[in-house]
Each structure stands twice: as C-alpha cells, then as structure tokens.
Amino acid sequence: MNTKLLPVLIAILFATTSFACSCVEFKGAFRKQIEKSFSESDVIVVGKVKGIKKLNSNALLKSSADPVIYTFEIQSILKGKLEKEVIEIVSASDGASCGYVFETGKSYLVYSRTSNFFAAKTNNAFDYSTGLCSRNQELKKVRKKELRKLSRLQRKHNRI
C-alpha cells in the first residue's frame, strides 16, 4: 500500500460531519429588527436568572440539544400576559444546537416563544423557549434605544 495514501484514508475513515447553529440574519434597520423580533415573540421579559435545571442527567448520552430550564425572576414584562413573578424558559444546552446559555445571577432581555419542541423532556404541553437566534442579551449590553422601542411597541400592542 502506498504510504502517502495512508493518512488520507485514515482522515476519510474518521471524518465526521459537524453541524453548528446558523441564524438567518435580518438585514433591516435596527428599528425593523426589533419590530420583527417583537412580532415573532410571545413573551419578552427582563429577568434575573435564579436557577438552572439541566434535564439530561445521563453522562454518557449528552447532547448540545439537551434542554435546560432557566428560572427567571421577572423585573419587567415587555410583551405577554404573565400573572407571576417568576417564569421558566427553556433552551438547548449549547450554542452548537442554537441554545442560549444564561448565567445565574445575571439579568437579561429575553425574547421567547410558546413551543412544544421540548415537551417530551419537560413534560409540559407547551413551554416558553428561546435560543441563540433570538435577540437575547445580558441586560447591561442592551442598547437603551432597544428598550425604548420595545416599550413603545408594548404600549401599541396593548391598545390593540
């Protein structure tokens, strides 16, 4: 066997396909980006992460798509009707599967949708879910302009 071909054959044999999250970016003006995200979200909150619950405890079969439930203490509601002071929002555990990773003790602006995507793991008919492709940001990094626009959209939405 040709020794020059051996590394090529080994590389082909052990090659794996790698998939990563890919978000389709909306190229409109900043104002239009916020309007689009607002219209696509069922609930938008500013909240502080109080707890993190990883739903897959099987150390051998972990996946970046495993759901994680984040418990947020709500600081303000920018869209949606919530009767409680705490909300649970689900995301995939890693950015490779489009999950958004939140950190305990930090406050975030969170855009979420009602979804049954994680229902089999959460045992809920529907969850609020979010991901890397939403406009989620740590609150201290959010532009004041975005919060003002969301506030105006909230007032307009509530009048309807």
Classify residue 70 by its DSSP letter: E
What's the mean pLDDT in 20-38? Answer: 87
45 is a domain residue: yes
pLDDT computed for residue 122 by the predictor: 87
Sorting pLDDT into bands at 50, 70 and 90, what band is 21? confident
Q: What percent of the chain has pLDDT over 90?
A: 57
The Cα–Cα gap between 132 and 111 comes to 10
pLDDT computed for residue 18 by the predictor: 46
80 is a domain residue: yes
Whether the CB-CB separation of 137 and 109 falls below 8 Å is answered with yes
Count up the domains in the chain and report the number: 1
pLDDT computed for residue 59 by the predictor: 63
> 26 versus 39: which is more confidently predicted?
39
Q: Which residue in the block uniquely carries the two structure tokens 């105006």?
A: 152
**Domain interval for residue 139:** 24-56+63-159
What's the mean pLDDT in 6-22? Answer: 55
pLDDT computed for residue 16 by the predictor: 44
pLDDT computed for residue 124 by the predictor: 87
135 is a domain residue: yes
Residue 15 token pair: 């090659």
Read off the pTM: 0.82
116 is a domain residue: yes
| CATH number of domain containing 88 | 2.40.50.120
Lowest mean pLDDT among 10-14, 54-58, 86-90: 10-14
Residue 98 has pLDDT above 80, yes or no: yes
The Cα–Cα gap between 34 and 111 comes to 10
Query: Residue 156 corresponds to which amino acid?
Result: K
86 is a domain residue: yes
140 is a domain residue: yes
Residue 155 has φ and ψ, to the nearest 5°, of: -60, -45
119 is a domain residue: yes
149 is a domain residue: yes
What's the mean pLDDT in 118-145? Answer: 92
